[in-house]
Amino acid sequence: MPKRTIAGDLPAPMLAKVQPEMPVGDGWTYEPKWDGFRTIVAVDADGRAQLASRDGRPLGRYFPEVIALLEAAGGRTSFVADAEIVRIAPGRMDFEELQLRLHPAESRVRKLAGEIPATLIVFDLLGEAGGSFTGLPLGERRSRLLAQGSARGWQLAPGSLEHVPAAPTVLVGPSTEDPDVARAWFADDAGIGQDGIIAKRADQPYLSGERGWVKVKHRTTLDCVIGGYRLSKAGDGIGALLLGLYGDDGTLHYVGHTSSFKAKERREMLEVLRPLEGGESFEGGRAPGGQSRWSAGKDTAWVALEPVLVAEVTIDRMQYGRVRHAATFVRWRDDRDPRTCTFDQVPGAEAPAWPEAGT
């Protein structure tokens, strides 16, 4: 059963399933897919605000400037909304900088709030004045969101990152029924459409925890060296293959992982990889990280492999020399020399200028 609530009685976010093509026809609406931290926003009748991540973790302490904006806005009606916290640098979404905001020290949090402030994009209104709107169709929720935003002085986000107001700010996410507009957003893969498009039915209620929306993402094929692996939870198979690309100086850098395997494949793959354990792998370059404040105690240990295997994967995009989100395994490339698997495969992608420990 899908998870219906998080952080007490806040509704769990509605989710999306991946499709290769954008659905078209009567009743479809489209929004940009934002590249940030999904959050459920709640402001009570006294004006106190909270932010909860998609799995219910408190986010407010990391983004005091967003909390301050929500609590200072006009319109004292309590509400619950679905939103995304993003970092918009001039003309681009910067997830790398956004991740820096998750710092345990309060003094550092306050400093970063001033140096790299965040933007809150609100795209759905789930309730107001103690009442729930989740049973209402999206079209009606959208109308109520625009009214709530107007009462609080939120601007409608423009269709271009170049024209987004300076952070910190709270914006209402754009939406369109015109598939040509949505295609234009999607084509702007360096701007508002860089993380893809979300398609939604205008007559659909908000289905907490269910994959009732459609997301269409950019996909690029990439040949990567297998530099290591992580074990599955059961310990009897591969949990993830660790992907690497060579820089111009011949150093192998970790760029991401793929874990799109069935249970039988995971066990069989482990037997194939055992004889390759050891070697330099990512030594001297960027290596897979260990525990983080978001790993929640998960085992992130990894095993180095001799870098002799090459796999073809698909990715959505690469940023700062790393794959954003998990890659999808396509096939083994026995015909490919590992040393030819370089950053040159992705236009604009570069190896890190120096090894980054713990990334």
Token pair recorded at residue 14:
């509605």
Domain ranges of the chain: 5-216, 220-345
Do 5-216 and 220-345 agree at the fold level?
no
Task: Supply the pLDDT for residue 309.
Answer: 95
For residue 26, the one-letter residue type is D
- Does position 359 have pLDDT exceeding 50, yes or no? no
In this prediction, residues 167-184 reach a mean pLDDT of: 96
Task: Supply the pLDDT for residue 194.
Answer: 85
In this prediction, residues 117-143 reach a mean pLDDT of: 97
In this prediction, residues 320-348 reach a mean pLDDT of: 87
- Does position 294 have pLDDT exceeding 50, yes or no? no
Structure confidence by residue, pLDDT tens digits, 191-201 = 888 889 999 99
Task: Supply the pLDDT for residue 157.
Answer: 94
Beta bridge partners of 29: 200
DSSP 158: P
- Does position 40 have pLDDT exceeding 70, yes or no? yes
CATH 3.30.470.30 fits 5-216, yes or no: yes
Name the band, by pLDDT with cuts 50, 70 and 90, for residue 111.
very high
What stretches of 251-343 show up as alpha helix (H) in DSSP?
263-273
The CATH number of 220-345 is 2.40.50.140
Least confident of 37-46, 90-99, 171-180: 90-99
- Does position 296 have pLDDT exceeding 60, yes or no? no
d(CA 191, CA 354): 27
Name the band, by pLDDT with cuts 50, 70 and 90, for residue 1.
low
- Does position 132 have pLDDT exceeding 90, yes or no? yes
Q: Is 288 exposed, middle or buried (0-12, 13-18, 19+ CB in 10 A)?
A: buried
- Residue 198, SS3 per DSSP: strand
Task: Supply the pLDDT for residue 254.
Answer: 95
Structure confidence by residue, pLDDT tens digits, 199-250 = 999 999 999 999 999 999 888 889 999 999 999 988 889 999 999 999 989 9
Q: What percent of the chain has pLDDT over 70?
A: 94
Which residues, in sequence order, are CB contacts of 54 under 8 Å at separation 6+? Answer: 6, 12, 13, 38, 39, 40
Report the candidate in 222, 208, 203, 177 with the shortest Cα–Cα distance to residue 316. 222
Name the band, by pLDDT with cuts 50, 70 and 90, for residue 300.
low
Token pair recorded at residue 136:
């209402």
How far CA 236 is from CA of 39, 268, 277, in Å, comes to 35, 10, 16
Length of the chain: 359
DSSP 101: T
Least confident of 84-88, 121-125, 183-187, 318-322: 318-322
Higher pLDDT, 153 or 357: 153
Report the candidate in 176, 207, 169, 211 with the shortest Cα–Cα distance to residue 193. 176
DSSP 108: H
Task: Supply the pLDDT for residue 96.
Answer: 82
Name the band, by pLDDT with cuts 50, 70 and 90, for residue 290.
very low
Task: Supply the pLDDT for residue 28.
Answer: 98
Report the candidate in 225, 327, 332, 334 with the shortest Cα–Cα distance to residue 268. 332
Name the band, by pLDDT with cuts 50, 70 and 90, for residue 173.
very high
Task: Supply the pLDDT for residue 353.
Answer: 60
Report the candidate in 144, 294, 132 with the shortest Cα–Cα distance to residue 208. 132
pTM of the predicted structure, to 2 decimals: 0.77
Residues labelled catalytic = 33
Q: What percent of the chain has pLDDT over 90?
A: 66
Task: Supply the pLDDT for residue 279.
Answer: 77
Average pLDDT, the chain: 89
